[in-house]
Each structure stands twice: as C-alpha cells, then as structure tokens.
Structure 1
C-alpha cells in the first residue's frame, strides 16, 4: 500500500466512515489516477475538474 493510500485510509478511519464507504472512496481515487496514468498526489484541481467533465460526458 502506498503512503498516500495508507494516509487516506487512516484519515477515513479517524472520521469513522463505514468500511464500504472507505473502499468505495479508495476505488474512485484509483480510477481517477488510472484515467490520467499518474499518481493522485501529482494531480491537481484542474485534473479533478477535467475528470468530472469526462465522467459527466462519457460515463453519464
């Protein structure tokens, strides 16, 4: 597990999110990163916006 993923997982546990919610969020971040072919820590606000546009237009 990468350090970023571990941190995200720990932060969600501290916030007492349900396990299925945690797994869903981790999966969505993974799909986001795969879409750009980069680690999520290298992506920024514009990448998030571009991904949201992609999801809206392509994935509906």
Structure 2
C-alpha cells in the first residue's frame, strides 16, 4: 500500500510540474508574439526626450 501512495504522490507531482512548464511555454510564446506584432506594426518604443540630461562634451 505504501508503494502505491508513493506512486500516486509522484504522479501528481509530475502532473503539476508538466502544467507549470506548459504555462511557462504559453507565456513565452505570448510575449514573443506580442513583440513580433509590435515590431511589425511599427509601434516600437519611442526614444524619450533627453532634455533632462546634460550634454556630454
């Protein structure tokens, strides 16, 4: 009986780990897609007005 409980615990742990990895992959994929979409639409970052900085030499 003890071995069966260890097996069920390990199985549940592997399922949780797989779900966490799947979620991480989805997040990376979504971020990558958002970056691509921003790059293609030309909606990238706009350089800020640097008037708050002193000119160097």
TM-score by length of 1: 0.35
**Larger radius of gyration between Structure 1 and Structure 2:** 2
TM-score by length of 2: 0.37
Q: Which structure is higher in helix share? A: 1
Choose between structure 1 and 2 for higher RCO, CA contacts under 8 A separated by at least 6 residues.
1
